[in-house]
Structure 1
Amino acid sequence: MLFNNNIVKSIVACSLAIVPFAIIRALLLVCSVISSYLGWSAFAGWLDQLQQTLMDFMPILMNAFMALHWAIRNRRSVIHFLTVNICSLLFISRAISNDRLFFLDISIPVALLSGIIVNSILDKFIEQVDKHLGTQTKNTKNTTLFFLSILIISFCTFIISYLAHHLFALVPGYIDHALQHSYPTSFSSGLLYLFLRCIPWFFGVHGYFLFCDMDANFIAEAQANIAAWHAGQAELNILSPEFYNIWCTMGGTGSTLSMLLCIIFSKDSPHRHIIGPSLPLALFNINEPLIFGLPIVMNPVLIIPFILVPIVSYIIAYTATAWHLVPAISVAVNWSVPPILSTWIGTNGSMTAIILNLIIIAVGMLIYVPFLQRWTISTKNNPEQHLFLQPTNLELIPNHRKLNEEKEYLEALEHVHQLQSSGHFILYFQPQVRLSDRRIIGMEALIRHQGNDGKISPPTFLQYYDRLHAMADIDFWVMEQAVSYLRQHLSHYTGMTLSVNVSPQTLTDKRLFNVISRILSEPLPKGWTLEIEITESQAVNAPEHVADILVQLKQRGIRIALDDFGAGYSTLNYLTRYPLDKIKLDRSLVQGLAKKGGLAFLRQVTKLCKITECHVVIEGVETEDELRQILIEGVETEQEMALVRSAGIELAQGYLFWRPLPIKEICQVLEKNSHSQTTAEK
């Protein structure tokens, strides 16, 4: 599916990332034009140079943002991907150009092509390194990746350099000729040119960025034609950059001024939030906020009028000019001059041209209206999937949501950085108890953060790693550290289970079995079993794939437990789909024991769980306010435990028995528990 293609996502993501730069560059150009009209030529020239510098750096920015997006999406090293991509792009551009400022001559297509090739190759190399060197040390893997990265840079540079100096050298004249004569000169070529300028916006790429070399020749040709016409040496051409700016890009590419007016005049439109950021810029033909905010990018509904309206406008304007109903454009007008005013200037004050401008805007509104209505209905009925042929996880619905996601992402990055700089992670362990004799039969490893001041923080910080799609890194760390603690401190206690929590993200992570192989390269201490708890309160995106993974884990001797049963997604489906050994009932089932029907409901849930022949553990047989001496809905904790046992549950975990404890204290608890059991047996 196109919408879920990784390359398409990366192109859209890097295009979205440079929107602020594109808007700033456009505003600088607007200020330059205004300053020029006011006679401030020196200031206008300075602003024009500044916007051109931003334009020159945009290819490098797009390449860098593509590397950033690729690395984060695939959970790779951001620094690694950025370094390899920027080095490759600069080497490639140097191989193509002999100019001292070669890095300012990079084009958007070259930057995108370089990013796609380098990221794809680098990602494949890292995948193979993880696959074949998964059990090696981190230093070995890093060294291997370092030399492979040099190989990638060299390979890409060599290939592009060879093409530049051998293949391209054979046809320089043909290339120059093509660039100089590829701009439109007839009705049909002008229509094709317009279509090609609009269609890249579907992927978030500005057509001007792709056709800037062609446009430079087009502008020069148009200016020469206007000068020759003023000298009486030639007739005015109908087609020119000004023709497109005046008739086909009112409000920006796609004649989106018509779309904005439709939204403004529709009082019940759910898209009115876009008017504020879009309308002021649309007056200067800047429409990035609208294109990314509505959105039009990757939108199979709104992209149709986005292309159709300029085409209809082109046909109307070209026909009217050819039939001499309106004069041809005879004055060069910058694209940033507001609609209507640009028509007045470009046609030397023709009122018929202004009337035609208004007619074209109205026709554009008529075309946009049914598509906007259809889009509105789709967002109301299915706001997550819209009208895409298949669900897409590329969430490009209203821009305020995208901005909120970006804000949350940046906040998560900041919180993670603070965690790493203000302390370190440690493990606590909470025992699981057999109710009949209070014997500890296992323990769950729980992550905590210890600040530099010694303060211990609960795992609320996990939400930030979840936002960053980095839960796998946390889970792997807990798994490795827990097994290490077991071997170092707990090996002489036998017949127990070590439980670690694993998120759905981690289960589908490609590194999972490499990590498992590494930590189980030596057998666990005698009598110990590793147990993985999957969290039922988090949605699983690929349940069949997860089921296969769990089967493979069980084949390696790992037990599977379902955590938070009764508090999340697809509960009954989980019982039959996954090969479970243990089910941990959510605390909410305990909190309802004192309510009418609470105990009966708990008994029925327990019977349902036991059909799968799983051990059943109850969590939260007490409140978290005080240890041992708390009432829940009028039922004392000891009474509550008795009710739990009467429901057929034999295993429990909670503060009534033990809080999560550091390794030193958990050893003491195990020692006392073992001693008491020995005494009881005697």
Structure 2
Amino acid sequence: MVKTWLHNNFIYQLNTSKAVLFNNNIIRAIVASSLAIVPFVIIRALLLVCSVIAAHLGWVAFASWLELLQQTLMDFMPILMNAFMALHWAIRNHRSVVHFLTVNFYSLLFISCAISHDRLFFMDISIPVALLSGLVVNTLLDQVIGAVDKQPRLQTRNKKHFALFLFSVVMISVFAFVVNTLMQQIVNPLAPIIRHTLEQSYPQSFATGLLYIVLRCIPWLFGIHGYFIFSDIDSHFIAEAQANISAWHAGQGSLNILSPEFYNIWCTMGGTGNTLSLLLCILFSKDNSHRHIFGPSLPLAIFNINEPLIFGLPIVMNPLLIIPFVLVPAVSYIIAYAATAWHLVPTISETVSWSVPPIISTWIGTNGSLAAIALNLLIIVVGAMIYAPFIQRWTLSKKNAPDQHLFMQPTNLELVPDYRALTEEKAYLEALDRVYALQSSGHFVLYFQPQVRLSDRRIIGMEALIRHQGNDGTITPPYFLDYYNRLNAMADIDFWVMEQAVSYLREHLSNYSDMTLSVNVSPQTLHDPRLFNVISRILSEPLPAGWTLEMEITESQALTNPEQVSFILGQLKQHGIKIALDDFGAGYSTLNYLTRYPLDKIKLDRSLVQGLATQGGLQFLNQVTKLCRLTECHVVIEGVETEDELRQILIEGIETEHEMALVRSVGIELAQGFLFWRPLPIDEMCRVLEKNQCGID
């Protein structure tokens, strides 16, 4: 009964909550910025480890230098997180990276200057302040840019840039004024109270200590180290613990059970979440799908650095595994607190750095207590037992439902990214640059390529094709579509083509009838939630009499979620839109597409007819066409190009009735290509239609 409830209720609720939470721009930005500083966090931790080792070896000056270096790196963390958040936000929302970075940086400087009046005020920024500043600034910038884009009076690029520059200056000035006013009127008068509250907020009892460890673990769900959130409280906690231990050594008081060393020794073995238990669980698990993470994680986990494991497994953004990640240190805390309170193990009496490996830190902190080491081992085993069912459930669920949102793929955490990652990042940035260059050097226009009926060479339809026209009038082929595809912006292009093509149809082509207007639709567009709103808008008025709108889906691109695609295509047909399959024979699930989707037309890729002149080529095309005709679809042969290809492609050499009959014998009635007409601007398209309707070739 419990297992059934877990599967049908609890897992479902986790999956739903993840879909809602992590599709949110704000949460994605926080996670992205946290992930971006992981290499810096690891380097900083390794510097601290080296500092501890150097101090143990008696290299005091070198140890102090390493300590200063890691502390400086830590001071820069907030600025780095703020910058990475701005970078992520700009790229994800297709905004200017330079603009977002500049406004975020200056806003953060103004805020930090208002908070601290020290000459090095920018080194006093805390990570919560940096994150909050980034979220506010990026959200405001995004909203304003969207509003500026909608203003009809600001359509030129210069006007938009001026408006955004003016707003950025105003926003930074307002930020400075508001923050400075709040500091002067509210925060500074309350500073003594705030300071006293922070000084007394560290855990001092069993209940507050348990709450403390839970709250330090939960932020890892979003990739944020709890230390960053509680750094101010921890500084007072460390000072109080050191004073307590010093007083005890001087015979002036008793030892407190709770101290930073208590948490380091009992609750962060392997890092936050007692992840040494998690590694043990992975090592002895029957399933080996997670073994790949064991090798890279173990060497760092020995020094309680667990970022590779947390991001690589992952724990981050995983609402299932975050449960044992919080539960294990909480149980460890309860066991260790009880054992210490009942004098089964000695109270921690020595200051130990968190970077000292488990067991060794216990030996040092308890002055060589074997009972404490035994308790260490027991807690590790108990933690592994708690992790085990969650890892098993996660593994099983990934196998049964690999496409569900709950189950994330590991994050690439290599300090030196692999070639593929570097290539993808370079391609993305290149695409951004190319798109910006296109937008600043001209505008998009539509061309139309006729489709003809082979029996009489009459035009029965046309395909709308996007082109780029430079400021000098140069027309560029649509190679640029690849850049938009890399940026996941194909839907914006497709929607523009749809609206412009239908507008051209109503304005220029309404005098012609019994024709089809065809537009291309990418897989991104089919899954875009705006699709049917755009369709409803462009079809709010009926098309001119005798005209039909047709959408071409590309067979050469793999369509994800075929069931959903089939449903969407069915909905489009209910709107009176015909569906054509483009590039048939050039891509992925060719035969499957014929039966899966509600098609009206199939356009054969020219690769299927290039071998017509070879032995067996015509028979092969005949069989392919028969398959297409079984679906009761019209068949179009495309890519009919130049006279130079007459000997390679039979259909392009149609000069006699015998050749016409040969092509028609395989069931091909329609064609499209340069041999008939190249893509034409709308005015030339109208002249061609006029002649074609009158019987003039």
Q: Report the TM range for the smaller structure's normalisation.
A: 0.7 to 0.9
Describe the shift of the 1:590–1:656 C-alpha distance in structure 2 as closer, same or farther (beyond 3 A): farther
- Show the counterpart of 1:594: 619
Q: Is the 8 A contact 1:449 1:458 kept in 2?
A: yes
- Equivalent residue letter for 2:409: I
Encode CA deviations 1:266-316: one digit per residue, 9 max, x unaligned.
353201111122111111111111111111112122111111111111111
Aligned with residue 81 of structure 1, among 72, 82, 100? 100
Instruction: Please identify, of 77-86 and 635-644, the stretch whose mean Cα deviation from structure 2 is larger.
Output: 635-644
| RMSD of aligned alpha carbons | 5.0
Match of 2:225 among 198, 206, 215: 206
| Maintained 8 Å contact 1:445/1:482 | yes
Identity of aligned residues (%): 60
| Residues 574 and 409 of structure 1, relative CA distance in 2, 3 Å threshold | same
Q: Which residue of 2 aligns with 1:348?
A: 367
When residues 157 and 535 of structure 1 are mapped into structure 2, their CA distance, relative to the original with a 3 A threshold, is farther
Decide whether aligned partners of structure 1 residues 509 and 100 sit closer, same or farther in structure 2, where only a CA change above 3 A counts. farther
Is the aligned partner of 1:18 residue 2:37? yes
CA displacement, residues 162-195 of structure 1 (integer Å, 9 cap, x when unaligned): 3222122332222111110101111111111101
> CA separation of 1:223/1:208 partners in 2, compared to 1, >3 Å: closer, same or farther?
same
- Matching residue of 1:178: 197
Contact 1:190 1:239 in 2 (8 A): yes
Which amino acid in structure 2 is aligned with residue 585 of structure 1? Answer: K
1:364-422 Cα offsets, whole Å, 9 max, x none, are 1111111111111111112222xxxxx46xx8412359978854530313543786899
Structure 2 partner of 1:612: none
Matching residue of 2:636: 618
CA change 1:46–1:644 in 2 (3 A) is farther
CA contact under 8 A between 1:409 and 1:467: conserved in structure 2?
A: no
How far is 1:74 from its partner? 2.2
The yes-or-no answer on 1:2 pairing with 2:21 is: yes
Matched, 1:90 2:109: yes
Return the alpha-carbon distance in structure 1 between the equivalents of residues 338 and 644 of structure 2. 83
Letter of the 1:604 partner, please give it. L
Q: 1:383 to 1:510 in 2, by over 3 A?
A: closer
Classify 1:127/1:267 alpha carbon distance in 2 versus 1 (closer, same or farther; 3 Å).
same
Q: Answer whether contact 2:569 2:598 (CA < 8 A) is retained.
A: no
1:140 is the counterpart of 2:159:
yes
Tell me how far apart the structure 1 counterparts of residues 331 and 384 of structure 2 sit (CA, whole Å).
Answer: 12
Task: Name the counterpart of 1:412.
Answer: 427
> Secondary structure of the residue that 2:347 maps to in structure 1?
coil
Letter matched to residue 638 of structure 2: G
Deviations along 1:470-513, whole A, 9 cap, x unmatched? Answer: 43576689899999999xxx99x999988664535468598999
Q: Secondary structure at the match of 1:43?
A: helix
Q: 1:39: which partner in 2?
A: 58
**Cα distance change of structure 1 residues 680 and 133 upon mapping to structure 2, 3 Å threshold:** closer
Deviations 1:230-269 (A, max 9, x none): 1111111111111111111011000001111221223532
Corresponding residue of 2:6: none
Corresponding letter in the other structure for 1:416: A
- Runs of 5+ consecutive residues of structure 2 not aligned to the other structure: 1-19, 470-474, 539-545, 610-616
Task: Say yes or no: does 1:397 pair with 2:409.
Answer: yes
SS of alignment partner, residue 359 of structure 1: helix
Cα pair distance change 1:538/1:562, threshold 3 Å: farther
Q: How many angstroms apart in 1 are the aligned matches of 2:271 and 2:655? A: 68
Inter-CA distance 366–7: structure 2 relative to 1 (3 Å threshold) = same
Work out whether residues 622 and 628 of structure 1, in 8 Å CA contact, stay in contact via their aligned partners in 2: no
Q: Please, what TM-score do these two structures have when normalized by structure 1?
A: 0.79
Query: In structure 2, do the counterparts of structure 1 residues 116 and 281 end up closer, same or farther at CA, with 3 Å as the change threshold?
Result: same
Q: CA deviation at 1:528?
A: 12
Query: In structure 2, what residue type is equivalent to 1:262?
Result: C
Which amino acid letter does the alignment assign opposite residue 304 of structure 2? N
Alpha-carbon spacing, 1:194–1:677, altered in 2? closer, same or farther (3 Å): closer
CA 1:640–1:217 in structure 2 vs 1: closer, same or farther (change >3 Å)?
farther
Q: CA deviation at 1:604?
A: 3.0
How far has the Cα of 1:530 moved from its partner? 10
Q: Which AA in structure 1 matches 2:411?
A: N
Q: For the structure 1 residues 92 and 547, does the alpha-carbon distance in structure 2 shift closer, same or farther, using more than 3 Å as the test?
A: farther
Q: TM-score, normalised by structure 2?
A: 0.77
Name the amino acid aligned to 1:231: A
Secondary structure of 2:452's aligned partner: strand
- Tell me, in whole angstroms, the C-alpha distance in 2 between the residues paired with 1:110 and 1:36: 33
SS in 2 for 1:119: helix
Does the Cα contact within 8 Å between 1:623 and 1:632 map onto a contact in 2?
no
Check whether the contact 2:643–2:675 (CA below 8 A) recurs between aligned residues: no
Alpha-carbon offset, residue 223 of structure 1: 0.9
